[in-house]
Amino acid sequence: MKVAVLGAGAIGAYVGAALHRAGADVHLIARGPHLAAMRQHGVRVLSPRGDFTAHPHATDDPGEVGPADYVFLGLKANAYAACGPLIAPLLHERTAVVAAQNGIPWWYFHRHGGPYDGHRLESVDPDGAVSRVLAPERAVGCVVYAATELQGPGVVRHLEGTRFSLGEPDRSISARCLDLSEAMRTGGLKCPVETDLRGDIWVKLLGNISFNPISALARATMRQMCLHGGTRRVIETMMRETLSVAEALGCTVGVSVERRLAGAERVGDHRTSTLQDLERGKPLELDVLLAAVVELAEITGVEVPTLRTVHAISDLLALRSAA
């Protein structure tokens, strides 16, 4: 099994190291000091489950890697449309693209069935730019329940969680999902293959759609947002509106708002990825988290006034931070 990790940051390098440990032919594509460190010392994983070092091939040139069986995308979703020149050398006729993104993926309505089958969301696939680069037929969905961060170049700090749920857009249990799942499990990760990954997408989105933009607007940690009464009520309302949209699309989310909030509070003084991106001057990945659900509310006729308000304010923040 040949796996290319395009965007081997904290999550990508962690997955690549685990797959390399399982015996897969892994190629990490990165740049800068992080790439230099991985070339020289390998990927060092520091984890409560045990530290280890893996030495997969690392490069900044996808052409040096060539076609792979799987491309694991560690890029942020807002970089997908522009990744064509990077991903093209990695593809052969049957290459699967595993997108470990937050929020609503560009393939969401591919083989969805029902009245919205094949619908394209402008907020996540503007003018079809993402679909032209990443054909939905190649997509294997992936919902990440692991928290990692780069402690330094070539050093991944694994904080918690090892689950990477996989699923086909058409809800089948495919050989390509089963094969990748087996390799991930051999490398020490949890990797169930789900018949309907969309439920997992909405479970994770409940937290991302609320905590991520609010954390950036308030410069607050998970614990601080949960303990502030007014902010907690806003987040509860955002979650309930999100559940209404999911239900309008025929997706039952198997977690309550109360349980989701309790889990977030246990995380403690963690800064969301959106807040970290804001502090580092990076683009904010809010379209797939918030704009997409507002767009889904429009096509399903669901009222989401709080989501619309937070989207308007956070969108201005994203535009100003990118200026």
Question: Do 42 and 16 share a structural domain?
Answer: yes
Which domain covers residue 247, as residue numbers? 199-322
Question: Do 175 and 69 share a structural domain?
Answer: yes
Dihedrals phi, psi of 162, to nearest 5 degrees: -135, 15
Q: Check residue 264 and give its pLDDT.
A: 84
> How many domains are contained in the chain?
2
Q: Check residue 255 and give its pLDDT.
A: 86
**In the chain, where do the E strands start and end?**
2-6, 25-29, 43-46, 52-54, 57-59, 70-73, 96-99, 139-152, 155-167
Rounded-to-integer distance, Cα 136 and Cα 105, Å = 10
Q: What CATH number is given to the structural domain containing 215? A: 1.10.1040.10
Q: What is the dihedral sign for C-alpha 267, 268, 269, 274? A: positive
User: Of 145, 164, 195, which one is at a domain's C-terminal end?
Assistant: 195
Question: Do 266 and 138 share a structural domain?
Answer: no
Q: What is the pLDDT along the chain (323 residues), one digit of tens a residue?
A: 999 999 999 999 999 999 999 999 999 999 999 999 999 999 999 999 999 999 999 999 999 999 999 999 999 999 999 999 999 999 999 999 999 889 999 999 999 999 999 999 999 999 999 999 999 999 999 999 998 989 999 999 998 899 999 999 999 999 999 999 999 999 999 999 999 999 999 999 999 999 999 999 999 999 999 999 999 999 999 999 999 999 999 998 888 898 888 888 887 788 898 999 999 899 998 999 999 999 999 999 999 999 999 999 999 999 998 87
User: Of 195, 226, 261, which one is at a domain's C-terminal end?
Assistant: 195
- Are the beta carbons of 43 and 54 closer than 8 angstroms? yes
Question: Do 237 and 144 share a structural domain?
Answer: no
- Are the beta carbons of 297 and 245 closer than 8 angstroms? yes
Q: Check residue 300 and give its pLDDT.
A: 97
What residues are annotated to the active site? 204
Question: Do 149 and 29 share a structural domain?
Answer: yes
Q: What CATH number is given to the structural domain containing 43? A: 3.40.50.720
Question: Do 190 and 203 share a structural domain?
Answer: no
DSSP assignment string, 131-188: HHHS-GGGEEEEEEEEEEEEEETTEEEEEEEEEEEEE-TT----HHHHHHHHHHHHTT
Question: Do 101 and 25 share a structural domain?
Answer: yes
Question: Do 161 and 217 share a structural domain?
Answer: no
Q: Which residues pair with 165 in a beta bridge?
A: 143
Question: Do 51 and 190 share a structural domain?
Answer: yes
DSSP state of 156: E
